[in-house]
Every structure is written in structure tokens, then in C-alpha cells.
Amino acid sequence: MKTKQKTEGSPSVVLISLYDHDAFGLRNMHGLLKKNGFKSSLIFFKELLWKINEPSENEINLLINKIKELNPTVIGFSVRSPFLKIATDLTERLKPLNKLVIWGNIHPTVKPDECIKYADMICIGDGEFPMLKLMKNLKDKKDFSNIKNLWVKKNNKIKKNPIEDLNQDLDSVTFYDFSTVDKYYINEEKLISFDPKLKYSQYDIMVGRGCPYACAYCTNSYLHKLYKDKGCFLRKRSVKKVIEELVEAKNKLDIKEVYFYDEVFVLDKKWLDDFLKEYKVKINLPFSLCLHPNIVTEEIVGKLKHYGLERVGIGIQSGSQRVRYELFNRFVSDEKILEVAKIFNKFKVMATYDIILDNPYETEADMKDGINLLLKLKRPYNLNVFSLVNLPKTDLTERMIKDNINPASNLFNWKMDINKKREKKKQIYNLKMSLFSKSFFPKFLIRDINDKTVLFLAVKASNFTKLGFMAFRLFLAGKINIALLRYYLRNYRKFSNFQR
């Protein structure tokens, strides 16, 4: 272990969230450490909208100088796979400060051997209690190399500790600190003492962890294997604790709606019934959530609508049933997707469907099926069009490696960029799929136009129109303030290259 600079008194930590304002894990960790008497500071570094904008030299210096000022014992980075290079560069720049650096989140979990090269320690899986144990051991001057979930560099060797069983009591690790104390935001060449979530009228919350599905393109396809025999992967907080957080958020923040960030909202019928009754009485705000098509019924949607459901996110992922079944491990039929769309329209719930493009396995027949399915899909709806992101260790990425397809070629740009060079047929297909997301653009034109240049200009113009309409609609509804509106307009031209 390298010799680290000592701090007086109790050890302290700076937690750094890269391009993520929600940062549920870091926020929980921050709250848990503060509750146990440790000094914890949370830095939100940069904002992610449609594309990763590399930090400027000035922004990096703002981060370094703030860490120097805070003088922590430990620096913690939350590292998602697309931000590996940025985390690596920042860690290298922070080496002269001679602090303990620990990495956590999904990339160290799926690629620990890669990540331990750059950090003094990494955390695999849930990190709240391992981090608390680390800080307690530092305070008591005890050895911390045997903490479960941690890999620790010691005497030029790596101590690889086993993974702890999954914590089933999420109430014990879920904290939310609504103050701006010990929180900093670095973006657009400025550093301010601020929590960036406070500028939004939508309150994001998670009621559980884990996903019951294992889609081949998703990291859950790996995590299900990692946590085999480690306890129930799908976990949820108590109704009481979720409502307590929402009541506090409603009382302290100017929120107008709630977004449940869970990959698939709670499937437990009793929990859901108990929660919705409490929500109606104590919160009574419109809300949005994500569902899997196979669990959507008129009964469920009707019930959720009664209690305030306005918008729902749902994955189609491919318009080709063959791709969904054979490649994505996602067994949803065309008939079920069309049935689900009718249910949402019946109850006047605005659906946002996800589609994944730039899939190297997709054939011309698959693309034709995709167009035909969306032609049948009843409007109105929103459409999120993504480029396939080859996340490490997923079943699909491993398949691509086996088939000699380079998965590293697409890790960073998940929002489909219309300027990216593609084979002509795929470019035409992508442009048509982008146009489906604009309810004002006639379907028969999407079906009949096959000229790439005409389609490109149509997408460009419709993106400008939709982005402008969205920004002003949110502003008029009071869901974004004038500062946010100016920010969107300032980046208006840049964002129009990405499907929205």
C-alpha cells in the first residue's frame, strides 16, 4: 500500500459522481457516512444530456483545487463503463495529492481486473456498507484489506475479497440529504455549492434494486450470474420508507411530479396496493415509471392511472421479433407490443418506447419488420432511439467477441447520431425510425420516402421542431425554470444531431 497523507481527526471522503445527477448509490453512501459521523462531500462533475462532452482543463482544475481544499482521506469515484477514460484521466491527475482512491459502481463490478490497475481499491457490487467499514477501520487505524466486496492493493499485491451476500434490507442503506451542504456542482466552466437535482421540478426516486429480467444487451445478464446464490437479486424498500422520503421531498423541494427510476416498477401486488393508497393520500402528484411489456394489463394500467400515472417508459428494443427472441433474450411478441400500445391509449397514458439501432446482427428483413411494426403502432407516443451500446460482460457483448465483431467500437454514443457514417440501408432505416418519434410527421411519408438526403433533412428539421416544442412546453408547465430553458436553447443546435 502506498503511503498516504494523514489527516487530523476522523477520516473524511470526497465522493465524485461523473455525469450523473441522480447518483442514487453515492447519495445513499453520502447519507450513511454522515449519519455515522464522518465528513463526506459529494461532487457532481459535469452534466450528461445527449452526448459525453469531455471536461475542459479549467473544469479539471476546479475539481482538483476543490479536493485540495477539502483535503479528504479518501477519494471515491463512481465509474460507469462509458466514463472509464475520464475516470482514469482524473485519477491520474489526482495522484500528486497522495490520497486513497477507490472506484465503485458498475464498471469495477464487471471489470475489476481492469479497474484495479488505476485505483488503490475497487468496490464490487453494493458499496454503502463496505465504504462505511473502510472509514471505520481508517478511524480506528485497523487493517482494511479484508473487507468483503473490496479489492485492495497491498505490498504490490492485490487482495481480492469475496462478494458479500446481497443486502435485503434496503431501508438500512437508503438516505437522502436535501441540503446543499457539502455538495458541489462542476459544469460549464463553473464550480458552485449546489445540488443539481434541485433545479428540476421532477423528483427521481428508486424503490428497489435489481431487475427480474436478463436481456442480452443489459448488464443484468451478467449480474444475475455474479450474484447467483447470494440472495434475492430483486429487492425493494418498505412502503413506509419510500413514502417518508417522498413526503420530505414534497415539503422541502418545489416538485411537481415523481419519476420512479426502477428498471421495472414493483411487481409485488400487495406492496403496490399498499403503496398506491399511501401515495394518493400523502403525495398525490403525477408520476412516471417503467414497465416491461409482458406485465402490462388493463387492470394494472387502470389502477396506476387512477393513482396518478401520466407517463410510462417501455422497451420495444427492436421492431423485429426475431431479434428480440434470438439476440436480445427478450421474449415479447409483436402482438403483445400492439396490445400494450392500445392499453396505454385507452387510459390516456403517454408511452415512451425504446428502440435500439446499429445492431450488427440486424438484417434487411429485420429492418423491414421494424418499420412495419411502428407503422401499426397507434399514436400518440414518444420514441427513444438509441444506438446499441456494447456494455462489458453482457451476453450480447460476449457473443460479439465470439463472432469476431469488435464490441469496443460502440460504447460511448448511446443516443443515435444521424451524422454517423453507416451503410446506406441502415442509415435510411435509422432516419425512418427517428421520424417515427415525431407525432406530427405523417406515417405514410415515413413509409414511402426512401431518399437518404430527403430523410436526413426531414429528421434535422423535425428534431429542431421537437426540441424547441419540448423546451417551451416544459417551461410553460413550470417543469423547468428560465435558467434551464436558456441552457437548452444554448445547446439547441448541438442536440439536433441526436434523435429525440
Least trusted range by pLDDT, from 64-78, 103-117, 410-424: 410-424
Residue 143 belongs to a domain: yes
Residue 187 belongs to a domain: no
Of 400, 435, 402, 444, the closest CA to residue 416 belongs to: 435
Identify the domain boundary among 414, 438, 459.
Answer: 414
Residue 53 belongs to a domain: yes
Identify the domain boundary among 399, 414, 429.
Answer: 414
CA–CA distances in Å: residue 206 to residues 2, 144, 243: 38, 30, 12
- What does the pLDDT look like over 115-169, one tens digit per residue? 999 999 999 999 999 999 999 999 999 999 999 999 999 888 999 999 999 999 9
Residue 286 belongs to a domain: yes
Which residues constitute the domain of residue 496?
A: 416-500
Residue 343: half-sphere exposure toward Cβ, Cα within 13 Å: 23
CA–CA distances in Å: residue 161 to residues 33, 149, 213, 500: 22, 6, 28, 43
Give 312 or 497, the one with higher predicted confidence.
312
The CA radius of gyration of the chain, in Å to the nearest whole number, is 23
Residue 133 belongs to a domain: yes
Residues 135 and 100 in one domain: yes
Kindly state the percentage of the chain with pLDDT values over 90. 78
pLDDT given for residue 174 in this prediction = 76
Residue 1 belongs to a domain: no
Residues 283 and 425 in one domain: no
Residues 288 and 207 in one domain: yes
Cα separation, 239 vs 244, in Å, equals: 9
Residues 73 and 161 in one domain: yes
The whole-number average pLDDT for the span 220-227 is 96
Cα separation, 417 vs 413, in Å, equals: 8
Residue 125 belongs to a domain: yes
C-alpha grid cell for residue 329? 433474450
Q: 420-438: buried (b, 16+ CB within 10 Å) or exposed (e) per residue?
A: eebeeebbbbbbbbbbbbb
Residues 164 and 137 in one domain: yes
**Looking at the whole model, is its pTM more than 0.75?**
yes
Give 49 or 201, the one with higher predicted confidence.
201
pLDDT given for residue 500 in this prediction = 47
Cα separation, 12 vs 101, in Å, equals: 12
User: In this model, does residue 282 exceed pLDDT 70?
Assistant: yes
User: In this model, does residue 182 exceed pLDDT 70?
Assistant: yes
| Cα separation of the two ends of the chain | 48
Residues 406 and 429 in one domain: no
Cα separation, 431 vs 426, in Å, equals: 9
Of 317, 318, 263, the closest CA to residue 106 belongs to: 263
Residues 209 and 128 in one domain: no
The whole-number average pLDDT for the span 104-122 is 97
pLDDT given for residue 18 in this prediction = 97
* CATH number for the domain that contains residue 282: 3.80.30.20
Name residue 489's amino acid.
L
pLDDT given for residue 5 in this prediction = 40
Provide the pLDDT confidence category of residue 470 given band limits of 50, 70 and 90.
low
Residues 410 and 420 in one domain: no
**Considering its fold, how many domains does the chain have in total?**
3
3-class secondary-structure state, position 211: coil
Residues 407 and 461 in one domain: no
Residues 307 and 442 in one domain: no
Residues 477 and 454 in one domain: yes
Residues 211 and 332 in one domain: yes
